[in-house]
Amino acid sequence: MSRLLPLLLLLAMPALAVIETYQFSDPALERRYQALSEELRCPKCQNQNIADSNAPISQDLRRLLYEQLEAGATDDEIRQYMVDRYGEFVRYRPRFSGATAMLWLAPLLLLAVGLVIVVMTLRGRGKPTEAADLSEDEQRRLRALMEKADQDQ
Amino acid sequence: MPARLKLFLPLILFVVLALFLMRGLSLDPKELPSALIDKPFPVFTLPALGRDELLDKEAVTGEVALFNVWATWCVSCRVEHPYLTQLAGQGVAIYGINYKDEDTAALGWLRELGDPYIASIADREGTLGLDLGVYGAPETYLVDADGLVRYRHVGVVDQRVWGTILQPLYQQLQQEKESQ
């Protein structure tokens, strides 16, 4: 088995080669390639970025990204190039606009709602509740009921 | 906040959430509006499939026409092919964009199944497809007489799609052209 293991590991290697690799002239370009390919969305599969997706269109977009990075395009130029062709949809971090306002503001809004609930709950906890203040009549009735319960036992 | 209103808070939150989710049910996430709507058809120069000539934007625009992105590896393209042939028979102008395909396979397909296209642009590398924002075949673009992209349909063009969406727009664009 111990001899077989390295062989088995070799067999598993092609699984890693599903997504092609590119040789960059500069490590900085490679870092930007990683960042951008995680930020750009695959138009075909919709819930994956182009770094994760093995769809043909994602392969094309990765190659394009590589070529543009090597040609010296800035991140913004590349994003704009993609948006011009595939729409704002292609960005996982879309520009702030009327259509995307909800997307950007919802977390803040929910956080605010949560804080309000926490504050209200904490305030309510400090105060003695009204239910604890029984009138004299009620106190007497309560004592009577409890005594009755004791006798019943 | 009055205590009574507080009791209704969960219900209000539920209704708001339910409305959002209901809306989500009736949305088709595959229906992406093209980024090129009302923008010019991309400039290109590519060979014509099976002919010894080059096609460019000027050669294929000027009339209202459909641009159908197809390929022999695309299963749904085979499904819509008979309907496209029927439309072409009715005089609808259709250009093909043979997307990331091999010429021999594509020519064999047209010989076997019929050729509804005025001409097919051989987009072997998918460069025109990229400029159009194609993300898979079949896709069909409606381009007006001024060379502006007016509509993009993703998926198979059938009787329903043609009758309810493409045909009304196609006729409207042709009227626009005649009134100019």
Chain B residue with Cα closest to A80: B35
- Would B98 be classed as within a structural domain? yes
Would you say the ipTM is above 0.90?
Answer: no
Lowest mean pLDDT among A12-16, A129-133, B56-60, B152-156: A12-16
Is B133 in Cβ contact with A43 (below 8 Å)? Answer: yes
DSSP secondary structure letters along B105-141: HHHHHHHHH----S-EEEETTSHHHHHHT--SS-EEE
pLDDT, mean of residues B82-89 = 96
* Closest approach of B33 to chain A, Cα-based (Å): 8
* Closest approach of B62 to chain A, Cα-based (Å): 22
pLDDT for A96 equals: 87
Chain B residue with Cα closest to A59: B135
Pick from B135, B139, B141, B152 the residue to mutate for testing the A interface (most A CBs within 10 Å). Answer: B135
Confidence band of A8 (pLDDT split at 50, 70, 90): low
- Would B2 be classed as within a structural domain? no
pLDDT for B24 equals: 86
The answer to whether domain A18-90 has CATH 1.10.8.640 is yes
* Closest approach of B123 to chain A, Cα-based (Å): 14
Report the alpha-carbon distance of residue A40 to residue A51 in Å, rounded: 8
Residue B98 belongs to what H/E stretch?
strand B94-99
pLDDT, mean of residues A106-120 = 93
pLDDT, mean of residues B51-64 = 93
pLDDT, mean of residues A74-86 = 93
Q: How many domains does chain B have?
A: 1
What ranges do the domains of chain A cover? 18-90, 98-128
pLDDT for A17 equals: 47
pLDDT, mean of residues B30-53 = 89
Amino acid occupying residue B81: H
The three-class DSSP label of residue B56 is strand
CATH code of the domain containing B99 = 3.40.30.10
Report the alpha-carbon distance of residue A60 to residue A90 in Å, rounded: 14
Asked if residues A75 and A32 have their Cβ atoms less than 8 Å apart, the reply is: yes
Domain that holds residue B163: 33-175
- Would B25 be classed as within a structural domain? no
- Would B16 be classed as within a structural domain? no
- Would B11 be classed as within a structural domain? no
